[in-house]
Amino acid sequence: MEFVVSAGQLAAFAALTFVMVVVPGPSVLFTVSRALTVGRRDALLTVAGNAAGVYTQVVAVAFGLGALISRSAEVFTVIKLVGAAYLCYLGIQALRHRRSLSAVFEAGVKGGRVRTLRVVRDGFIVGVANPKSIVFLAAILPQFVHYESGAVAAQILLLGILLPVTALVTDSMWALLAGTARDWFARSPRRLEVIGGASGLTMIGLGATLAFTGRKD
């Protein structure tokens, strides 16, 4: 069955998506922390992984998870707590290794395929467990679907791609800006140690905040 996503649908959802994305949330704060701690390259890889994680949410919503999340506070809470726990873990790691940031900076862009995949994986996990985008996709996206046109899942998949694409652009800008600020910190090992500790505390705080906010039902 053919389906049609009208220009009006795309424009309306794109506008709402932009408003949602530009308000800093878990993904932006995580990206900035990563850029300040490990630099632009890893921050941009994090953004790419995060976008893939968010689109995984879109796929899940298209094939029924959205309805399940809407009905079950328990499912939402499990997903949210996984993301919160992982953010806390990354924050603890940043605190533990804050004194080695100078060596990381001096090493430059090294580490090969394994490191690249690990950084992308970190972004993916945070993206797929981001409660802000889960709520947006599960509660808001279906309202832009024309059910009478059929192929509901296909409409969700097409409209939903606007969210990770928009986030990819805006979060990359945050990563580049924060990476520029990191260059100043990198002139002093002491500055890098301070920013590493602050970034670790930010991620731990963000994880704790996510764990204790959200649905109350």
Would you say 45 and 119 are in contact if contact means Cβ atoms under 8 Å apart? yes
Q: Alpha-carbon distance 193 to 110, whole Å?
A: 20
Mean pLDDT within 4-10: 78
Tens of pLDDT along 16-65?
888 778 766 677 777 877 887 777 888 999 999 999 999 999 998 888 76
Please write the tens of the pLDDT for every residue from 181-192. Answer: 776 665 655 655
Which pair of tokens denotes residue 90?
Answer: 């990354």
Q: Which of 217, 175, 203, 213 is nearest to 41 (CA)?
A: 175
Predicted model pTM: 0.68
pLDDT tens readout for residues 93-137:
666 655 554 454 444 444 444 478 888 998 998 888 877 787 778
**Whole-angstrom distance, CA of residue 57 vs CA of residue 80:** 13
Task: Write the burial class of residue 23 (CB in 10 Å: 0-12 exposed, 13-18 middle, 19+ buried).
Answer: exposed
Cβ contact 54:177 at 8 Å: no
Token duo for residue 115: 């490191």
Instruction: From 138, 145, 164, select the one nearest 64 (Cα to Cα).
Output: 138
Residue 108: predicted pLDDT = 44
Q: Which amino acid is present at 29?
A: L
Q: What is the pLDDT of residues 193-214, one digit of tens each?
A: 665 666 667 767 767 776 776 5
